[in-house]
A and B are shown apart, each in its own frame.
Chain A
Amino acid sequence: MAEPATTRPKWIGQSMKRVEDPRFLRGKGRYIDDIRLPNMAVAAILRSPHAHARIVRIDTSAAERLPGVYAVVTGQDVRARMAPLPTFAVGPIYQDLLAVEKVRHVGEAVAAVVAENRYIAEDACELIEVEYEPLPPVVDPFAAMEPGAPLVHEALGSNVAYQRTFTFGDFDRDFNEADHIVRAKLRWPRSSGMPMETNGAIGDYDEGTGILTIYANSMNFTYFQWLIATSLKIPASKLRVVPINAGGSFGSKFFMHKVPTLAGFLSMVAGRPVKFVEDRIDHILNNDHCGSDRYYDVALAVDRDGTMRALQIKVVDDYGAYLQFGTGTHGNALAQVVGPYRIPSVQYELTAVLTNKNQQGAYRGFGSEVNNWVLERMVDFAARELGLDPVAIRRKNFIRPEQFPYRTPTGNIYDSGNYEGVLDKALALAEYDRWVAERERARQEGRYLGIGIVTAQERSVFSSTEFWFWFDQPGFPVTSSPESATVTIDPTGKFIVTLHSLAFWGNSPETVATQVVAEQFDIDPADVVVTYAASQRALPGTGPGGSRFTVMVTGALVGASGRLKEKIKKIAAHRLEVSPEDLEFHQGSVRVKGSPERALTLSEIALSAYMFKLDLPEDVESGLEASYTFDHPYTTLPSPDRKDLGVFYPFMGHACHIAVVEVDPETGQFTWHKYAAVADAGTVVNPMTLDGHLTGGTAQGLGTALYEEYVYDDRGQMLTASFMDYLVPTAMEVPRIDIDHQETPSPYTPYGIKGAGEGGRMMAPGVITAALEDALAPLGVRITELPITPAKLVRWIAEAKARGQAPTA
């Protein structure tokens, strides 16, 4: 690929206003539900009221008779015409678009109605008669592992979908030699991205050509669209997915497979365009991507002086009824399982359990946010048990700047970092020393003021090996995760950038592309237009996810720009009668180095490239466009024995968050005194949007820490199926967040950029937990589960008092 410019960047690093914004500010966002095609019908779904039941009979006749209804389909229709949905799971865990023999969770789709409008479609759903034979549900993952437990998938013969212990480094030696073992059982409950816009798609099947067009707000259509074609039993070449702006994702639209497949299928059945957009209940009950739902039993081996020796994690993850992404969320955690610390060995035991709940998928952090919370909890427990300062124990164990690139025990590489630098900036930003003094004063006054600190990792730019290194004989050991870009200069000299995956979900792909192209060609950003290719035309792309997009699309843009610049120089050199090496790009022109008056504007060159073939060098074809597919710049295969997982997530961001809170022990409410965050995401492309990500991600992490939980009762009923029960933080709950940055460039990426989209949520749960625990330290409260609701805080305070204020040991 071409080298990035060596001079000081002009546009990279600027807080450029987002080019995406005007359309959204005007209410012209063209989200999926804003799109209406001629003759389009609308679908609604009938969902299971049971967690686990056999479907005995479905009578759709009354629904079919309702005026305005075009089609009613059930699992039998799906079974007759479709293959099961795509899955990364190994083993007989199949998922149909609509349930066939039985339903496996409340909210699973049982039938779909296509009608003139949503009102009629929902009326018709009420007219469908389904006779269920309820089966005993399995809700608790530990009960699910008991012999004789009801089976979610009979063909699997067990509810344990996966179990294996991985050992990295000389674990037994390190663990046994350590002075002290810190132990804890920790619980991270299920939540999800919960974007304000739900998932949606429009299917438009053309019977004339046999081409199915699906408009969807899914993120990863170029990566996976052929899998959807396989489910629909149509040639992938005849499936055209058109990317549509997404109103938030946070994982919820990362390879969403049910909604687009459904819209496509219904369009083929109904013979007209069909839109299906989830309502909020659809989304909560049945979206593809609930977050992790984990039970941990953890041991951190430490020496008396605080040196961390070994980490043992045993985790049971309640995956729900299907296993769409396999256990990739734990692969993700293994990328940074030791955090920023020199922990030489790790043992990781994963048990993936199936229960009668909705499936898991991706949520900002993809499982690593949980590991961050767990590890930082363990470090705090270690500090307390050893009588060490929480800052000092972290500082003592940090990987040192001179140790990079650093190979972690699992095999993943950390590219670069300066963790003490981040820590020192954060301590200063938070006025840490002042708050330590304030805490002492508060405690003397009988007030419960606490300070939390986390120093944790944000891995960026995934490699797809994390999806399959779990298995010795993986079914589909994919190793690609590319991103592409096309740069076109039109005959008038204006730039068109084409992106090849659905990049927009609230991030800034168009602004990033504009900044990079403006940088590469030294042009006015206002001259750049960004567009998205539909799948039939799209080059390889993987879409946003795992904080990969800015790094990867920049690589693609730099590559495409390099190719295009070469062609421009060739044309200009021919016309100016100089050598291409003597030319440079300057403010919208190409000029001769040292004689700036000898120049051609890009418009002049563009016009000749399109219209004046005889002015071009003989071997230069007409037009001005170049594409580039940028593959992951640094990934390696796992070793056959899986003692080394290879390099799969090497661009390692880091952050330190510090929070100061004060708890009212009577009510369990608390007030914020301070929230400070310092992040190191390598070279910053756009400080303003990076801060936006950090602030928003922190607010989401706050929701995870304090409010959000998918609650199922012991019959598997969903108790939090609306925003009245699933509490998304409002402006009233989120504190002011002070932000600073450190830039430690990656040696392996264009411009030294690292990803940073998930950092806020990967840090906030840990720091909020730590601050609340520290506030209640005089009472001996130890926090081991989320969300930390006021009711729980009051209960823990009462329990601690009942224990006679005995300090935890």
Chain B
Amino acid sequence: MVEKRPVTVTVNGQVRQAEVEPRRTLADFLREDLNLPGTHLGCEHGVCGNCTVLLDGQSVRACLMFAVQADGHEILTVEGLVAPNGDLHPLQEAFWEHHALQCGFCTPAMLLTAYEYLQQHPVPGSDEEIREAIGGVLCRCTGYQNIVTAIRAAATKLTAAGPAPASRSVAD
């Protein structure tokens, strides 16, 4: 057994500490050690993007990172998009409203990828640009169209909410 190493990360605003084997992936760490199963594994090759989480606000493949590499960083998972009072994030609401999910397996990754995109582009570009932004996450159910619609709808809602929208940046 390889010696375990301590890891301290801030996940969804909470400081979490654990001892993990160096080879433990960030995805397994989140899912099993921190009991956050919303991060899903679709291929474990870094292709499907279904395990996408935000590390210091940047999307990363949780299957391609080791937990020890996340030491000292801040992570946002789908569980952290929900408001403390349990309300869905406007992106989640828009995905629901516009039927942007079917089986729901890629949905957490899609939401986080869209969240990152809207952080960088509060007013989204063309549909092609939105498609490019989510191009790293495979969805087998929807054909993507309603996801594009939902992201645009969420952006409208978020920008209408004022200059300081209900965005919980990872630093909050």
On A, residues with C-beta under 8 Å from B are 17-18, 20-31, 33-34, 36, 67-68, 118-119, 193-197, 245-248, 250, 279-280, 505-507, 688-689, 691-693, 695-700, 722-724, 728, 730-732, 734, 736-737, 760
Contact = CB atoms under 8 A, between A and B. Distances in A.
The 5 closest A-B pairs by CB, nearest first: A27-B38, A24-B104, A506-B103, A247-B105, A699-B143
Contact of B131 (A67, A693, A695, A732): A732
B50 interface: yes
B172 interface: no
A241 to B, nearest CB: 20
Interface string B18-45: 0001011000100110001111111111
Contacts of B139: 196, 731
Contacts, number: 172
A376 to B, nearest CB: 21
Interface in B121-160: 127, 130-132, 134-148
Interface stretch (B3-11, B65-73, B91-99, B161-169): B91-99
B60 interface: no
Contact of A507 (B43, B95, B102, B132): B102
A566 to B, nearest CB: 36
A696 B140 contact: yes
B54 interface: no
B140 A723 contact: no
Contact of A26 (B21, B44, B82): B82
Q: Taking each of B23, B42, B106, B136, which has the highest tally of chain A beta carbons within 10 Å of its own beta carbon?
A: B42
Interface string B69-87: 0000000011100100000
A194 to B, nearest CB: 6
Nearest to A195: B140
B170 interface: no
B143 A21 contact: no
Q: Taking each of B37, B92, B104, B144, which has the highest tally of chain A beta carbons within 10 Å of its own beta carbon?
A: B104
Given A695-B146, A696-B141, A723-B45, 10 more contacts: A24-B107, A29-B38, A195-B105, A197-B103, A248-B105, A248-B141, A280-B44, A505-B103, A697-B143, A723-B43
Given A247-B103, A280-B45, A25 B127 contact: no
B26 to A, nearest CB: 14
A692 B144 contact: no
B47 interface: yes
Given A698-B143, A724-B45, A734-B144, A34 B102 contact: no
B36 A27 contact: yes
Nearest to B80: A27
Interface of B: 1, 21, 23-24, 28, 31-32, 36-45, 47-48, 50, 77-79, 82, 88, 92, 95-97, 99, 101-108, 111, 127, 130-132, 134-148
A595 to B, nearest CB: 41
Contacts of B36: 27
A176 B97 CA distance: 57
Contact of A25 (B37, B48, B88): B88
A506 B146 CA distance: 14
A689 B77 contact: no
A27 B39 contact: yes
Q: Taking each of A24, A197, A691, A699, which has the highest tally of chain B beta carbons within 10 Å of its own beta carbon?
A: A24
A696 B105 contact: no
A700 B140 contact: yes
A34 B142 contact: no
Given A21-B104, A248-B103, A506-B102, A196 B48 contact: yes
B88 A22 contact: yes
A31 B40 contact: yes
Given A26-B38, A723-B138, A247 B143 contact: no
27 contacts: A23-B104, A25-B92, A25-B107, A26-B78, A26-B88, A27-B79, A33-B41, A34-B31, A118-B28, A119-B23, A194-B140, A195-B103, A195-B105, A196-B103, A246-B103, A247-B40, A248-B105, A279-B41, A279-B44, A280-B43, A505-B103, A696-B143, A699-B142, A699-B144, A723-B43, A723-B138, A737-B143
B111 A25 contact: yes
B145 A730 contact: no
Q: Taking each of A29, A31, A699, A722, which has the highest tally of chain B beta carbons within 10 Å of its own beta carbon?
A: A29
A731 B147 contact: yes
Contact of B99 (A30, A33, A246, A689): A689
Contacts of A195: 103, 105, 140
B145 A734 contact: yes
Contacts of B23: 119
A25 B104 contact: yes
A736 B43 contact: no
Nearest to A26: B82
A801 to B, nearest CB: 32
A18 B45 contact: no
B92 A250 contact: no
Contact of A24 (B101, B130, B144): B101
A196 B146 contact: no
A17 B135 CA distance: 26
A196 B105 contact: yes
Contacts of B131: 731-732
A699 B139 CA distance: 10
B38 A28 contact: yes
A777 to B, nearest CB: 28
Contacts of A760: 143
B141 A506 contact: yes
Nearest to B45: A722
Nearest to B95: A25
Q: Taking each of B21, B45, B147, which has the highest tally of chain A beta carbons within 10 Å of its own beta carbon?
A: B45
A736 to B, nearest CB: 6
A363 to B, nearest CB: 12
B104 A506 contact: yes
Nearest to A277: B41
Contact of B37 (A27, A688, A724, A728): A27
A31 B107 CA distance: 13
A59 B127 CA distance: 57
Given A724-B45, A724-B47, A734-B143, A197 B78 contact: no
A33 B37 CA distance: 8
B34 to A, nearest CB: 12
A247 B142 CA distance: 12
Nearest to A689: B99
B96 A21 contact: yes
A197 B42 contact: yes
Nearest to A764: B143
A259 to B, nearest CB: 16
A67 B104 CA distance: 37
A722 B111 CA distance: 24
A440 B88 CA distance: 51
Contact of A17 (B96, B104, B130, B141): B96
B135 A730 contact: yes
Contacts of B102: 248, 506-507, 692-693, 696
Contact of A119 (B21, B45, B96): B21
A760 B45 CA distance: 29
B145 A737 contact: yes
Contacts of B88: 22, 25-26
B155 to A, nearest CB: 16
A20 B101 CA distance: 10
B37 to A, nearest CB: 4
Contacts of A279: 41, 43-44
A722 B137 CA distance: 15
Given A197-B42, A731-B134, A692 B140 contact: no
Contacts of B106: 196
A31 B78 contact: no
B43 A722 contact: yes
Contacts of A17: 96-97, 99
A399 to B, nearest CB: 30
B142 A696 contact: yes
Contacts of A737: 143, 145
Given A196-B105, A506-B103, A734-B145, A26 B92 contact: yes
